[in-house]
Structure 1
Amino acid sequence: MPDVPIPSREFRRVLGGFASGVTIITAVVDGEPVGMTCQSFFSLSLDPPLIAFSPSLNSTSYPRIRQSGSFAVNILEASQRPLCEQFSRSGTDKWRGVEWRPGVTGSPLLEGALASIDCRLEQELETGDHYLTIGRVLELDSTPGRQPLLFFNGSYEHLSGTRAA
């Protein structure tokens, strides 16, 4: 079957209906922290423990993260929308006022994050206009009982507290 062109606007509209958590991917390069907001993140394998995220080929932060050879995925809590927006901007001091501690790889683990997953860069594939970056999980931590920051249909959302049957 031949490929049928899918308009970008329609692709975004349909896939925007899939709620995703929001993360900040962090690393340290030449003694300086680097980070970027990313919502294309998922678990990949239990054995071995692998996760994946998909940064844009145009990202200015990702090449520096790749250079470090390790990174942390910080899953944001609902109240961290300002932090999410701070890390999504290019050409600004993303780290101003940000509290963090180094993980086992030295990658920044953000204070107040819902969870942190410290990884070694395992593999990277160029796929379309993004990379598929795979990390081997070396250490992880979470604070249960709090709400995640979600992105759905082009805006930030929160859970209602009611569970599906």
Structure 2
Amino acid sequence: MTLTVSIDISTYKKALSQFATGVTVVTCGSEEGPVGITANSFTSVSLDPPLILWSASKNSKRHDYFASTDHFAVHILKKQQMDLCFKFAKPNEGFEEVEWKYNSHGVPIFTNFLALFECSFHAKYDGGDHTIFLGHVNNFNFNTGDPLVYLKGQYLD
């Protein structure tokens, strides 16, 4: 049974914006080169096994790259990396602005990050206008610093 409630989307988005989130760039490899996308829909799911999730809009030009790959990486951005979140919000931009290298699975990995999670896909779920990507963490690393935080449509200083 599906219950459909009519809501005002802009008011709904405003209510959701009351929750502070970190900002990530998720990357994967493709035949055309490295792919990256800004995402703030990231959370831990399980410690045993180590699982995380993030979601991407099905309307994104980069969605299908992630939907068709076996591995990805989530980079939690530092406060000083706000420029990267704007670059990776646009298709085909961002990699020229950051030092990176491919890991053994062909996934682009930034050399500078607050935290990094290298994952293989555990599952992919339909989430309405988004796809929910559940990843099994195969490797992780972190550094010191403050996270880039997004709240009420703004980045916090």
- TM-score, length of structure 2 as denominator length: 0.92
Contact 2:25 2:76 in 1 (8 A): yes
**Structure 1 residues without counterparts, runs of 5 or longer:** 159-165
Per mean C-alpha deviation after superposition, the further-off stretch among 124-133 and 97-106 is 97-106
Query: Matches of 2:63 and 2:119 in 1, distance apart?
Result: 15
Match of 1:89 in 2: 90
1:42-61 superposed matches below 5 A: 42-61=43-62
* Pair 1:107 & 2:107 matched: yes
Q: What percentage of aligned pairs have identical amino acids?
A: 34
**Structure 2 residues without counterparts, runs of 5 or longer:** none
SS at match of 1:118: strand
Structure 1 residue ranges, 4+ long, deviating more than 3 angstroms after superposition = none
What displacement does 1:68 show? Answer: 2.3
Paired AA for residue 67 in structure 1: S
Query: Matches of 1:89 and 1:63 in 2, distance apart?
Result: 15
1:26-41 superposed matches below 5 A: 26-30=27-31, 32-41=33-42
Contact 1:29 1:67 in 2 (8 A): no
What displacement does 1:117 show? Answer: 0.2
Equivalent pairs counted in the alignment come to: 155
Q: Deviations over 1:40-67 (max 9, x none)?
A: 0000111111000010111111211232
Match of 1:157 in 2: 156
What displacement does 1:104 show? Answer: 4.5
Query: Matches of 1:13 and 1:45 in 2, distance apart?
Result: 29
- Indicate how the Cα distance of structure 1 residues 94 and 69 shifts in structure 2: closer, same or farther if over 3 A, else same: same
Per mean C-alpha deviation after superposition, the further-off stretch among 25-34 and 71-80 is 25-34
Match of 2:146 in 1: 147
RMSD between aligned residues: 1.5
- Indicate how the Cα distance of structure 1 residues 3 and 58 shifts in structure 2: closer, same or farther if over 3 A, else same: closer
